[in-house]
Chains A and B, each alone.
Chain A
Amino acid sequence: MNTATSTAKETESKIDTKTIKFQIKRQLHPEQEAFWEEYEVPYKPSLNIIALLMLQNTNPIRTDNQTSTPVAYQANCLEEVCGSCTMVINGKVRQACSALVDKLEQPIRIEPMSKFPVVRDLWVNRSRMFKQLEWIQAWNPLDHYAPIGSGPAIDPDTQQKAYNWSRCMTCGCCLESCPQWSADEGFIGPQAIAQAMLFNSHPTGKTKADLRVKALMDNGLNVCGNAQNCAAVCPKELDLIGAISEANWQATKQLAKTFFGRH
């Protein structure tokens, strides 16, 4: 459309009738078939995908005028810090809260992540990600919580590196985009690798470093094909590539140690 030639009146009437068209992939039960629905709502500036889902929930009337049911989805903080509302939006995995309608091509296609079991509609079960944190013992092992003073001094650059990995909100974008990761088997994936490296870099966490590296090796660390999709989709810009190469280096050192019999 050549906007330069449209009159002010035309533009105005176009704004009046402007709508937002979106399609949602529904699945009412894990054992039922998935299907698509289309909705259209009046345009409003600055909406995000959560606001669209709220409108759908308020008034679940499709473009074909059939009344449907409110779509089920997970969401909590709505400011991209809790990791709940990860979905695939126009083919890209991301948080629905920070996906702004004004920046998306319509009709907007909203579907659940494909790598995790669907609970209902856009709601998926990501419990596997939390299980993986158990496998790698993603915590600093403290003797006790008694008041015995501060931890070790840490230089600002080391802190910044740790903070970067520590911002992982277990949202699953990296796993959804990874060609190697699946919820059933094999490769543990970038999320857990980065967390293992976070604790392996901490003076207290280090005491379990070998164990974490072993857990990574037992869970397909070497399967990573270096596609680097994970880093590209991570909403918090975690240094996942750095974590994976660090993990590989630690694994090599551990193998060498075993090979030469030094324990």
Chain B
Amino acid sequence: MTNENVLEIESLSAGYGRYNVVHDISLHIAKGGAIALLGPNGAGKSTVLRAIMGLIKHREGHIRVDGTDLIKMAPHSIAKGHAALVPEGRRLFAGQSVEDNLRLGGMRFRGDQKKVDELLATFFALFPVIERYRSRPSTSLSGGEQQMVAIGRMMMNDPKLMLLDEPSLGLAPLAIKDMTDALVKLRQQGRSILLVEQRVDIALAVCDRIYVLSDGKIIDERVTASLGNDGRELIDHYLG
């Protein structure tokens, strides 16, 4: 199993203070695969992401990324290429230019200018629109463009596993389309993705499997291909 899966979560419980928000969940992502976590607010989707990144102290179980267990690791060690997160609401560094935001994402390659430039070039090849704005303040971009930069900042880390927390939040339909296309392109490059979303259509377009989370437990797991193209069944069942 370990050789085929980029992420294996085994009986993970995590939460804040003494309370668990996520109870004993297990899931996996095959190398180059993508899964989505769906579920209502408060179900614990973001908590799973925060637990993987080590941003929650209170966590038990196993989180293996490419065979390495992250459960006892500090966030700064996890960020050394194991996993990287696009946080909800983008959270760009407001005072910095687009390029500085991106370069900060490649922090772990500091000293290796060649690698950073290479990653930057990869990103701009994928999002040529953003290259025009590289010296603009990050906050002067539109919401959709800022989301691209946030994804770019995560890509600059060159992680084994990419985590995205509701990237469609607050975006107009056109921007959502661009963002979804970008995620599909990342998959074509062989990237592994864990996506947290409210929008079932985006999950269907990007991922090959979907987990439904409710009250901190996984209540269903589906292969996207079996869901048709609108996921109506899933919505009616759990989310409607």
Partners in one complex: no
> Which B residues have a C-beta under 8 Å from some C-beta of A?
none
